[in-house]
Chains A and B, each alone.
Chain A
Amino acid sequence: MSTHPETSSGLSVSGLAEHEVGRRRFVGYLLAAATVTGAAQLGIGLGTPAAAVVPGVPQPADLYDLNDLLTDAARPTANLIQVVVDKDGTASFELPRAEVGQGITTSIAMLIAEELDLPLSKVNVTLSKARPELIWNQMTGGSNTIHAMYTPVRVAAAIARGALLDAAAIALAQPHDTLSVYEGAITAPGGASISYGELATSAAALVTKVVDVDLKPKSDFAVIGTPRRRKDALDAVTGAKQFAMDIDVPDALPAMVCRAPEHNGTVKSVRNQKDVEAMPGVTHVVTIPTGVAVRAGTFGQCINAVRALDVEWNPGSVSGRSDADVLEELRGIERPMLVPDVDELLGTVTDAVGGLTGGLGAADVKTLDTDFVFYTRSGSPLETNCAVADVRADKATIWAGSKTPIVAVESIALDLGLPPTAVTFNVVESGGSFGRKLFWDAAKEAALISQKCQAPVRLMWHRADEPRQGRNHPMATSRVRTVWAGDNILAVEQQHTCTATDYRHGFGEILTSSAISLPAGVSNLGVSETIFVTSQQVPYDFGVTTQGLMETTSRAINSGAVRNVYSPDVRTALELTIDKVAKKMRLSPVEFRLKYAKEDRLRRVIKQVAAAGSWGRSIPAGTAQGIAVHQEYKGYSACLVEIDCRPETVNRKVYNGVTGPRVTKVTFAIDCGEVINPKGVEAQMQGGIMDGIALALTASTHLEDGRYLEASWDNYFYTRQWNTPPDVRVFVMDPVTDIPGGAGEAGVAASFAAVACAYARATGTTPTSFPINHHDPIGFEVKSFVPPVPASPTDGLSHTY
């Protein structure tokens, strides 16, 4: 087994444009500051992407995708990011993005180390507080950080380096062009040397200057593109890494919320407030819109108080409804297919598809309809929703993970009745996000509780709160109609329908603002549709290709843009359909995908996994290979899995866990353009694979009578060690473009689809709903709804090992 990222350039790639990566000149600023400070505007370096000439009918996302949209939204903000070199010779940068485990603090530090010629260990990247002046440019999402930051960060660092060189030329009394720079020291021909630290003050500008600067050519890269460990790895393995609940804020006592049994139920009355206030450690009991909050000396005391509260509840937002009702609602809003059935197609669409059917009779044309259901999933990370808040009469300070801190500040200020300028939002590194930190649910609750208690609080959700009251990955149906004649695909239509995805974190403002500049055909769409059409692509040449989205208008079910948003479900539905069509055409899944792939970059990753994963090798009955691809975030991925569906594997027992089929081997290849840190990309792909396995096989929530049954990790079955493939290989392809793509979400879709395709091939049955175990009898004892959180066990010492 190899788990190291394997870069591959062995495959010949025909038809790929040669990219001459020469020096590129950019303008930035040398700021007036105490020590040398290079600065740049976000948005530079990202010209309108070349609209590749693709055969077939281009979809909107071919020309203009979500990354372009997020980047364009940021372009007009005339505000700067700054790289500061300090007197101790280190460089520091406050990153206006959220680190949630995706590794961007390391990647951004690598960019600075590269341009400054400074060891990576001397670059400190921290997370910026909410900076309202950045307007839309402090949102982390859409796997966009590296794409948007790649050039501005390098420009700022290069300007700082230039100023240091200018100062060194004076200090060393040598011409500028005779100096050499190595690891933060500048050396003259005679050997005299001076460090960045020594120059940091003299190199500083007295007045801000506009500076133009060359970036390092790719041929000189010594850091970018090399595998580097995470900068926070030592803190992570020693327990020193601080998350929101680990920060010491004086007097910020633990707080928890007693929540309704029904999803989004509200408080009618509290029957025993005084009794609970008198419980050990309890300092406050206050009602907030989402429940009854308790503040106490320890979280253990909070749990006891939450369990003791006797609350009369109002019904929730989906009272009396179950999964089947939600599915029925989706069925009710599904759009009729635009592509007609075969006979009508021959009569009316022949012209539109350019005569592809010329000479063929009706008997040669075939139609296949497929229909899949994707049940609701919890997007919760391991760190539950949490935030520290200290709200005073005239100001508020918050510490929390957040991908949208500016909108959070504005919203929370409104909730508190304070001006936004009175709210400080400190962005803390998060224990995962997967889209969850797009919302500030916990920060808002913490602020309201602190205001009501007139005391600082450390608010944490109980795990049981997460699947029951937290935000979900919406339930969806996805229908695909494929029409083909001989070996020509004439039309593919996919209609995706789901419960509403909540984008009220400010994404909407970006989109609204950006809509006027969108290419024709993309504008005038609703938020969800815009996200959909700018993120979804059919990466195959399929004649007339249509993908559409319909969402419910009700926000009755808490939702959010969970990792990779629509793509995992959309891809899985389409890739499963493709396998069926390929079989009818007597093509293997790999042959079919190579034949119809739109782009050589996609063909390259397919060939990579097929070769490295030994596509077509002989394996026992009941096991099978499956392959799937994905194209998003300016990148291309292919995933080849082997799955074992034999009874002895499926029926193996694990206490309090789901076993079922086991994915035994995964070969994954990603071409995400220019790669900053191959190790980081590999990690993201591995994580995406684990998500894909869970989505296909084990992970969903069940709505029953207005309440979600799942309440913890022994109910909600995310991938565990016993589900993990023993053999996982990730290939990070050598870049064929100098444009960096996104990696954080890129691994999920192809993995989910490949596992589903492998399962279908191993069992001979294509599943029609996911995860495949959703309709199994509930395999756990449902935890109590009143009280809403379970008591902690007391038998810990009976389970030592």
Chain B
Amino acid sequence: MPEYTFKLNGDKVTVDVQDSERLLWVLRDVLGVRGPKYGCGINVCKACTSHINGKAFNPCATPISALDEDDEITTIEGLADTAPGDGLHPMQEAWLDADVAQCGYCQPGQIMAAVATVNKAHAEGRSVTDADIDEIRNICRCGTYVRIREAIKAGAGKMG
């Protein structure tokens, strides 16, 4: 099987897998990185949302062969390290402040989606809006959406 190399949460990793293997299973089953969750496998529930080069994407719909050697993948486990300081990412702090999680299963994906949504708005020189949040597709079957909205707005205020 072919070897693929990419950067995962700051470290270079090399895996020996089929070229069609979706990244979600490379992360979860091969590398044991289990923050990104399975909820559908077809890029609709968004539970596996992670970042590639700082942008949100879904590993369940991304074959390993689509990655370049210098692509930087960030999962929930590596999010805190992308923010200044030793603590959590401001969005994770906002999540704690709002006590967002219930069962917690979707929350890694929700937080990664939230960070990307805020980054996108900020890159456009504006604050995140309710309309931006309406576009987040991540499912929460516990129905924590109200607190997610609150946390995104609070977290956005603390993000550069």
> Which residue of B is nearest A297, CB measured?
B29
Does A728 interact with chain B (Cβ within 8 Å)? yes
Q: Is the CB of A728 within 8 A of B146?
A: yes
> Which residue of B is nearest A662, CB measured?
B134
Q: Is the CB of A796 within 8 A of B99?
A: no
Q: Is the CB of B142 within 8 A of A799?
A: no
A796, B42: Cα distance in complex, Å: 9
Does A25 interact with chain B (Cβ within 8 Å)? no
Q: Is the CB of B104 within 8 A of A236?
A: yes
Q: Is the CB of A721 within 8 A of B145?
A: yes
B-side contacts of A254, CB under 8 Å: 29
* Interface residues in B66-88 (C-beta closer than 8 Å to A): 66, 75-77, 80, 88
Q: Is the CB of A686 within 8 A of B105?
A: no
A-side contacts of B17, CB under 8 Å: 298
CB A314 to nearest CB in B, in angstroms, measures 27
A267, B146: Cα distance in complex, Å: 44
A101, B138: Cα distance in complex, Å: 17
A298, B58: Cα distance in complex, Å: 17
* Interface residues in B1-29 (C-beta closer than 8 Å to A): 1, 17-18, 20-26, 28-29
Q: Is the CB of B142 within 8 A of A687?
A: yes
A-side contacts of B1, CB under 8 Å: 280
Q: Is the CB of A686 within 8 A of B144?
A: yes
Q: Is the CB of B141 within 8 A of A688?
A: no
Q: Is the CB of B103 within 8 A of A432?
A: yes
Q: Is the CB of B101 within 8 A of A383?
A: no
Q: Is the CB of A800 within 8 A of B117?
A: no
Does B136 interact with chain A (Cβ within 8 Å)? yes
Q: Is the CB of B40 within 8 A of A799?
A: no
> Which residue of B is nearest A726, CB measured?
B130
A-side contacts of B101, CB under 8 Å: 230, 232-233, 236-237
Q: Is the CB of A722 within 8 A of B104?
A: no
Does A382 interact with chain B (Cβ within 8 Å)? yes
A-side contacts of B116, CB under 8 Å: 801
Does A103 interact with chain B (Cβ within 8 Å)? yes
Partner-B contacts on A (CB < 8 A): 1, 3, 100-103, 229-230, 232-243, 245-246, 248, 254, 280-281, 297-301, 303-304, 380-384, 429-432, 434, 460, 462-463, 656-657, 679, 683, 686-691, 712-714, 718-722, 724-726, 728, 789-790, 792-797, 799-801
Partner-A contacts on B (CB < 8 A): 1, 17-18, 20-26, 28-30, 32, 34-45, 47, 52, 55-63, 66, 75-77, 80, 88, 92, 95-96, 98-108, 111, 116-117, 120, 130, 133-150
Q: Which 5 A-B pairs have the closest CB atoms?
A: A239-B35, A101-B103, A690-B143, A431-B105, A236-B104
Query: Can you sample 29 A-B contacts with CB below 8 Å?
Result: A3-B146, A3-B150, A229-B96, A230-B101, A233-B96, A233-B101, A236-B107, A237-B101, A239-B36, A243-B37, A298-B21, A299-B24, A381-B103, A381-B105, A382-B140, A432-B142, A463-B42, A656-B44, A687-B142, A713-B40, A721-B133, A721-B137, A722-B135, A724-B146, A792-B41, A793-B42, A794-B20, A796-B66, A801-B120
Given contacts A381-B105, A691-B143, 4 further A-B contacts (CB under 8 A): A300-B20, A431-B106, A720-B145, A796-B23
